Chains A and B, each alone.
Chain A
């Protein structure tokens, strides 16, 4: 079993739809959770960064962490064609200087006008 599972898609939605992206994980010691967006031929761009459980909102984006279920989500409201990209979840331990990120495979999203 992989440490982090993420459905690679592709996911195709119409413009204006609410998008839900998810990752599950197996290591209950993960404390920090991140969502990155990666456009074709670009580097990953940090979208959301969350510590432990709870919700975080930034504009049209909401990140949720449910540590009891080992499940994280990213919601995109009023999706736009410019949101078409690959979305990667990543997480890390709270263990001193352990900086290694554990990544999901990434979900490819297409928002159609």
Chain B
């Protein structure tokens, strides 16, 4: 079992739906990340939160909206997604506000399918 918990494990949604992905960690880490991973590809960084503030947005389309309610929780709100957004969405966390070199620890992801 990982120390980063993601829910739901699977999600199927239509292109007009609104849904949210949830991530939780209780390791006291102060940096949290959202990644997108396609089959047979490495994870692709989407967003980074450091001390609950958005610090990196990798030019992600606005149909993806991150939120960090507190230091343990990270949400990704989804709206009007496209079929090409179908992927494994991974959450990660790292200590010390994500300073350079701190190792990132991943959850098992939410497998998202867009119909």
User: Which of A's residues lie within 8 Å of B, judged by CB?
Assistant: 8, 31-32, 34, 36, 41-46, 49, 51, 88, 90, 92-101, 103-106
Contacts and interface: CB of A to CB of B under 8 A. Distances in A.
A100 B109 CA distance: 19
A90 to B, nearest CB: 8
Interface string B31-45: 101000000111101
Contact of A101 (B40, B45, B105, B108): B45
A92 B43 contact: no
Contacts of A45: 2, 106
A5 to B, nearest CB: 12
Given A32-B101, A43-B106, A46-B103, A99 B90 contact: no
B79 interface: no
7 contacts: A31-B101, A32-B100, A45-B2, A99-B31, A99-B50, A100-B45, A106-B42
Contacts of A97: 50, 55, 97-100
Nearest to B105: A46
A59 to B, nearest CB: 17
A43 B100 contact: no
Interface of B: 2, 4, 6, 31, 33, 40-43, 45, 48, 50, 55-56, 90, 92, 94, 97-109, 111
Contacts of B103: 32, 34, 46, 49
Given A93-B100, A97-B97, A98-B100, A43 B56 contact: no
A63 B104 CA distance: 17
A35 B5 CA distance: 21
**Ranked 5 nearest A-B pairs via Cβ:** A103-B42, A43-B106, A32-B101, A99-B98, A43-B108
A15 to B, nearest CB: 25
Nearest to A106: B42
Contacts of B50: 97, 99
Contact of A100 (B4, B56, B102, B106): B56
